[in-house]
Amino acid sequence: MLAKKPPVTLQQAIIYFSDPDTCLAAMVRFRWPDGVIKCPTCGSLKVGFIRSRMVWECAEKHAKRQFSVKIGTIMEDSAIKLDKWLVAMWLIANAKNGISSYELAKAIGVTQKSAWFMLHRIRLAMQGEDGGRMGGYVEVDETYIGGKARFMSGERKRRLAAQRPFGGKTPVFGVLERAPETGVSRVKTVVMGTPKRLKKAAMQALVRDKVETGSTVNSDALKSYIGLEGEYIHKVIDHANAYAVGTVHTNGLENYWSLLKRMLKGTYVSVEPFHLFRYLDEQAFRFNTRKLSDAARFSLTAASIFGKRLTFKELTAADATC
């Protein structure tokens, strides 16, 4: 007998979503929380359900009268059934260090290529709204994503060494908002890309874009941050002398960078720079929702798939330009 209560563990989720009717009912709840099903084309409430095909048909006369629950979501035009999609969402939302496309392919019974495409589409759902600027006590820092030269072959090492100043690595800027009253800090990250983005003007523009004026900003001794004192309470920790002096530190972001790199190096191994922002979105989503239960984190992911779409052509377009 299938479980009737919503799942709270992976085992329960696999059993719960093994029933097509349960999958459809769950997606209807996520898409139409009020229970009123509307035509995605015209918004009409006059729709009828065709059970043999698990689709609805609008009574109004227009193109695309028939629609499924996948229309207008990250799953649009996917032949993969809902049971696999929902389990995949549960896995990536709750795997602390992510899940590789090879592992997901074996777990749900699809090809590695399909699993890779599914994961990127789910990451799009995890890509939250900007949420406004951060305030209060804030940490800013930067890190560099890429392989270590000592592990590379001679030819590749020489080629990347010529790519100054980062040696082929991709700089990433991060902002962490402390929340001493709740104990749940949150983070935002941005791929910086080119050396020009690390110039003083560009770095400070990022801080102004992400942090409310008047906030307390903690940074390391990077010279690019000099000059923030006029708009912020700027406190500097020089890592050559100490890593923390009272509340002046960037240890929160340093912790986040270690979690991010553990995911990238341990699970995904090699991430192309043009896809890096997608993996940053994935890790930021899990970090910012770390106090939620697995079920709540899954529900938040599943409720965010609507109004978003990523085609395979769009996903691989960057490959052709590199």
Q: How many CA atoms lie within 13 A of 109 on its CB side?
A: 4
- What was the pLDDT predicted at 1? 39
Rounded mean pLDDT, 104-130? 94
Residue 123 has pLDDT above 60, yes or no: yes
The pLDDT score that the predictor gives to residue 317 is: 84
Predicted confidence (pLDDT) at residue 94 exceeds the cutoff of 90? yes
Q: Could you report the per-residue pLDDT of 186-242, keeping only the tens digit for each?
A: 999 999 876 556 788 888 999 999 999 999 999 999 998 999 988 999 999 999 999
Phi first, then psi: what are they for 137, rounded to 5°?
-95, 120
Half-sphere exposure of 241 (CA within 13 A, CB side): 8
DSSP string computed for 291-318: TS-HHHHHHHHHTT-BT----HHHHHHH
| pLDDT at site 103 | 97
For the chain, give the mean pLDDT.
Answer: 89
Residue 266 has pLDDT above 90, yes or no: yes
- Per-residue pLDDT tens digits for 167-181: 668 889 999 999 877
Q: Based on C-alpha coordinates, what's the Rg of the chain? A: 23
Share of the chain above pLDDT 90, in %: 75
The C-alpha atoms of residue 298 and residue 86 are separated, in whole angstroms, by 9
Residue 273 CB-half CA count within 13 A: 16
**pLDDT interval class at 321 (50, 70, 90):** very low
Residue 236, phi-psi category: left (phi > 0), alpha (psi -120 to 50), beta (remainder): beta
Top pLDDT among 1 and 109 is at: 109
The structure's pTM equals: 0.89
